[in-house]
Amino acid sequence: MIDPAAEVGIGALITGKVAVLGSTKIGPGVVIEGPRLGPPMAIGPDAVVGAGSVISMASVGARAVLQAGSVVTRRVPSDAVIGGSEGRLLRTRPGSAPQTSPSTPASAASLIPRESLLTLRLVDDMRGALVAGEYPGQLPFAVSRFFTVFGVPGPEVRGEHAHRECHQLLVAVAGTLEVVCDDGFESRSYSLSRPEVALHIPPMVWGVQHQYSSDAVLLVLASHAYDSDDYIRDYEEFKRLAGERAASIEQQRAAT
């Protein structure tokens, strides 16, 4: 199924059950393989698939961009920019405006808490190095849980969610990785490569981690115990909630 507003380039091959949505643009020579059974695999809406790209059994989210020659075998999130034969996440595009009231000014977004980098205490001498943090004082919240992430193949993407209440502190205790944070209005990228530098991600910030080096070890400190209901895993739902929060902030400002 191809939406009348979509564009499909010369020589593109689409097999299986695939729905090309909205104003999606598919370049020449693209190969898209969808499932034979079940619901169709969605591409878009408003996605861009560069010439010669290959998509195999993987949906592509709204407004995502696949650079020419990309090879994708797993789901592509909305607003992602993908490149290379490993389907690597390069960055996210600035998010489209969340679903807010037309009267909600962008200034409301400036009042929403956003992520920030913190420098922890580093002690380094001939015996080795030590990094420490305390609460209250250096850490932005009391820690209820921690976990580590390691052994991640370079092309893999982790995270892809936000929390309703939980704060997180991300530290690359070894190796390097990239983190993309999105508050529903703007996305920002951070490189973590030093154990004394931590990234504080407050609630209602969408986080994605990618480009792990082979030796990367990510330590995550969390303010809350694990609760599956605290996770927001659908990006469109997240943007809707971010827009509602911005509208609520603006209403509170107007009432004061």
Active site members: 161
Element holding 49 (H helix, E strand): strand 48-49
Q: Where are the beta strands (DSSP E) in 126-186?
A: 128-132, 145-150, 158-163, 168-174, 177-182
Does a cis peptide bond (omega within 30 degrees of 0) precede residue 136?
A: yes
Residue corresponding to tokens 């059994």: 57
Q: Which amino acid is at 219?
A: L
Residue corresponding to tokens 């490149």: 83
Residue 33 tokens read as 């393989």
DSSP 222-241: ESS---GGGEE--HHHHHHH
Element holding 246 (H helix, E strand): helix 235-255
Angle at 246 between CA 241 and CA 251, to 5 degrees: 125
**Residues 69/86, Cβ–Cβ less than 8 Å:** no
The separation between CA 163 and the C-alpha centre of its own chain, rounded to angstroms, equals 13
Q: Beta strand pairing status for 158-163 and 206-210? A: antiparallel
Residue among 232, 223, 174 nearest 204 (CA): 232
